[in-house]
A and B are shown apart, each in its own frame.
Chain A
Amino acid sequence: DVQMTQSPSYLAASPGESVSISCKASKSISNNLAWYQEKPGKANKLLIHSGSTLQSGTPSRFSGSGSGTDFTLTIRSLESEDFAVYYCQQYNEYPWTFGGGTKLELK
């Protein structure tokens, strides 16, 4: 199975700051990577697919980059609604696997 390793596990930041979350695959997954946002009491939200393509409705302050084994989710100018847990997922091969998550907390 492709192991997905996210770092950091926890990240504290303030509104207006920019943050980056790393996701590393144990083998090349081309650009077959998605990012999701998890918030309490809400359904998980697809933010980005194909490594860097914003899903319709995702604010432009979110961006994704990378290919192969190394990927990054960047959020510029954090807003209060961005404090959540973020997961990456590879869909290059079965079984599809997720990273362990990064909790973005308010500093």
Chain B
Amino acid sequence: DAKTTQPPSMDCAEGRAANLPCNHSTISGNEYVYWYRQIHSQGPQYIIHGLKNNETNEMASLIITEDRKSSTLILPHATLRDTAVYYCIVRPNTGFQKLVFGTGTRLLVSP
């Protein structure tokens, strides 16, 4: 039972920023927000994770609201290869906790 809510699908024009929202209103203080994506016919791929501060890496930026009840994954300049299903996952940072994948957001990047 995933503890996140994501829109089932989104569209984005190539070269534009893709902003993927995620609601996690029941998140606990010790839970991280993780983002993975799955390109068609491939295994899921880690993108980024964060606790409460905004994070950025070479793939994306993660913006977490101050109350931590929602977050947004930003792909600054989407390309056709970013077409994938994007999963938002919350997970405690104490001990080992397995990832629980929900249904994710299917992002379609078009020319």
Instruction: Tell me if chain B binds chain A.
Output: no
Interface set of B (CB-CB < 8 Å, partner A): none
